[in-house]
Structure 1
Amino acid sequence: MPSLVSMLAVSYSEVASVALLTWDIIITLSEEVELIWEKRWTPAKFMYLIARYMPWAFQIALLPLNIDGSTGIRFSFMACQRWMTVQAIVLQFIVTAVDVILIMRVYALYNRNLALLGVLSALFLAEVSALGYILAVITPELKFNHDCFVTASPPLFVAYWIVSLVFETVLFVLTLLKFAHAVRQGWGRRPVMRDFVSDGTWAYTLLFVTMLVNALLYKFVRSPLAGICFTWLLSVLSFAGSRLILNPRRRGTVRLSLRTRSPLSIPLSPLSPLTPLTPSIWVAPCSPGSPSSAGSPGGLSPSSPGGASPLKARDGRSAVFEGSAVYTESEDCGVAF
């Protein structure tokens, strides 16, 4: 009886998780169509689709198996192992997609610093290799009941969550360091930077807490309740990964719309003699066919609300950051990404 109660609790938790994620997808669908689907394919868009929809599709696939607390099917030991392997692979794909989104944000925040990108890429490959190795080792050692609910995991499984948390903590610390530098330079309190750090903070907190709870459950619980938060981790990864791209794009669209309707006619002076380089989602209005006006006397300068001087791409075009990708202003004043 206690085992059945535990399986029912896991099933109810899973239904609640997928219901909440479905609701979140529905309420953001119109923005997603405008800001994601109507744009051309980029790495950020590809990562968005993986992070957003793979957790949802996976949870939908789980529902028929254990929605009533029992699959109704008696799995063999080998069948359970294969099913756990599939879950491990899907989880790794999702975690990797979210990590790539976080890396792209830090890369853009540091003005596309190639040296930093090289270091982060090396750390990322080390993380993925470690996570893959851990999953390959622990999956055959997972213990489950006749309904294929995980009831216990080997001690090494804790390392999976620790490795993920360490890597995401490194990215979060880099974000905070850049924010502290921006505050000292005088542009850290602008809306663009403040929103960027705010998104990174709540996303990191959600991921950290959810992974930590899963680590503790799999470490200390010896019943089907060990996996009660697994689907919630999938939902959090979907929510955080998608919002880290969607939120800045939505804000950028609103700010650009306001800027286009109410262009500034008086040039603004910078806060300091040196123009700070910082990611920006502002693009000065310009007419089709004219050269880019970003950074021109009539455009936004570092002292304007939320504004910042655009970066310069290698081809000389003005680069702006929006979401989790670096964009460049094309010659006809459109935004290529």
Structure 2
Amino acid sequence: MDSFPPRFLDQIASSLLANYFNVASLVVLTLEYFQTVGQEAKLIWPTQWSYVKVIFILNRYLPLALVPPIIYYNVAPLLPALTCKLLFTVPAIGIACSILVADALLYIRIYAVSGRSTIMRNILVANALCVFGLALGPWAFYLIKTVFIDSPFPELSGCFGSEPGPVYLVMVTFGSLLYSTIVTAALFVFYAVRLSRTSRANPLLKVLYIDGALYFISIAALSIINGLVAVLAPDRYRFLLAIPQAVFHNILAARMVLDIREAARTDMGFRSVSGSKRETVGEFKAPSEPQKSTFGSDVATGGVIQSKQSDSTGTTLPTDPESLEDRTWGTKAQSGFKYPPGGGR
């Protein structure tokens, strides 16, 4: 081994270290899946198909499909340069997309806790388009510009990159993801504090807002740490924490949805595909307020909001997230709560 050039030995060492993190991430992801698959089968699978359900399933299963090829890339036998490039590029794009899918769930969560404000919806859509474009565009160009070579030594197996893409493209990608995470975390904490002052009696408050805020803060912390490593560490360690960040990003986003639905089971029930009620999330009975003050269900529940008065009248407020009509999205989660703060007061 001492006869090999130092740069090849350094690359082998960095690949080995990265694989330790990748394997650990896959183990955590697998354990998390088996721990929560029962919740998913009970709370997600019976619901009607909607774009929220599709996003959740993509968020749930994309990492399970993408992390193993990345692990194989770091321990691959002698492979042609083109095969190495494909083995690196396809999962790398997939991991970036999985982070953005998790972000989409978080954007939906922000929209829900804002009271389904039209202004906030437009802000989030515009922000999401900018973030997705700034994240995927430079990242794809970086991967295209990266050059791989065949192993110069028969004794050394694996894939070897000779010319990485421009580093500023990676910085733009990481910066856009970090920006998105910080913005969503700040917005969620803001709404958690604001709504906690007016909804203290709500039994779902702790799970919906307090735990949700902790999830957002954790994701933001992981993004900051990964960004610092990408900027300050040597080039060969640039993506050391990329897989752990993506995995935990997806885990926390899925946990947020599952925890809220599990906590709401005693007060909620959503309609299955056949239309019969099930003991899961979909209808939220307000604890003490009339229908106009009913605390809104989360967008990801995909059900309907039901006030206490519905016990006698059967009146429900539709909140199917696939419906974008003003009469649906215009229903506020709380009476008198508007965006921006202070509006209408």
TM-score, normalisation: structure 2:
0.70
Aligned match for 1:278, one of 279, 295, 298: 295
Match of 1:195 in 2: 207
Tell me, yes or no, if structure 1 residue 167 matches structure 2 residue 184: no
Paired residues of 2:181 and 2:216 also in contact (CA < 8 A): yes
Paired residues of 2:196 and 2:205 also in contact (CA < 8 A): no
Cα offsets for 1:303-333 (capped at 9, x unmatched): xxxxxxx96766689x898xxxxxxxxxxxx
Q: Distance in 2 between matches of 1:150 and 1:201?
A: 40
| SS of corresponding position for 1:227 | coil
Match of 2:29 in 1: 21
Q: Distance in 1 between matches of 2:56 and 2:177?
A: 19
Paired residues of 1:51 and 1:94 also in contact (CA < 8 A): yes
Paired residues of 1:183 and 1:189 also in contact (CA < 8 A): no
Residues 225 and 207 of structure 1: is their aligned pair in 2 closer, same or farther, counting only changes over 3 Å? same
- Any residues of structure 2 matched to 1:156-235 within 5 Å, and which? 156-184=169-197, 186-188=198-200, 190-222=202-234, 224-235=236-247
Paired residues of 2:23 and 2:71 also in contact (CA < 8 A): yes
Q: Distance in 2 between matches of 1:293 and 1:207?
A: 33
Tell me, yes or no, if structure 1 residue 99 matches structure 2 residue 111: no
Residues 40 and 276 of structure 1: is their aligned pair in 2 closer, same or farther, counting only changes over 3 Å? closer
Q: Distance in 2 between matches of 1:143 and 1:188?
A: 57
Aligned match for 1:148, one of 148, 154, 159: 159
Paired residues of 2:219 and 2:248 also in contact (CA < 8 A): yes
Paired residues of 1:165 and 1:208 also in contact (CA < 8 A): yes
TM-score, normalisation: structure 1:
0.72
- Any residues of structure 2 matched to 1:106-121 within 5 Å, and which? 106-121=110-125
Identity within the alignment, %: 19
Aligned amino acid, residue 143 of structure 2: T
Deviation, structure 1 residue 295: 3.2
Gap regions ≥5 residues in structure 2: 1-8, 152-157, 270-278, 280-285, 299-304, 320-325, 334-345
- Any residues of structure 2 matched to 1:260-279 within 5 Å, and which? 276=293, 278-279=295-296
Deviation, structure 1 residue 113: 1.6
Deviation, structure 1 residue 276: 4.8
Q: Distance in 2 between matches of 1:237 and 1:92?
A: 11
Q: Distance in 2 between matches of 1:189 and 1:161?
A: 40
Cα offsets for 1:110-167 (capped at 9, x unmatched): 2222222112101111111111221133223447785336796613312212211212
Q: Distance in 2 between matches of 1:250 and 1:233?
A: 25
Paired residues of 2:85 and 2:147 also in contact (CA < 8 A): no
Residues 180 and 17 of structure 1: is their aligned pair in 2 closer, same or farther, counting only changes over 3 Å? closer
Residues 311 and 162 of structure 1: is their aligned pair in 2 closer, same or farther, counting only changes over 3 Å? farther
Match of 1:302 in 2: none
Tell me, yes or no, if structure 1 residue 133 matches structure 2 residue 133: no
Paired residues of 1:21 and 1:56 also in contact (CA < 8 A): yes
Paired residues of 1:50 and 1:97 also in contact (CA < 8 A): yes
Residues 230 and 176 of structure 1: is their aligned pair in 2 closer, same or farther, counting only changes over 3 Å? closer
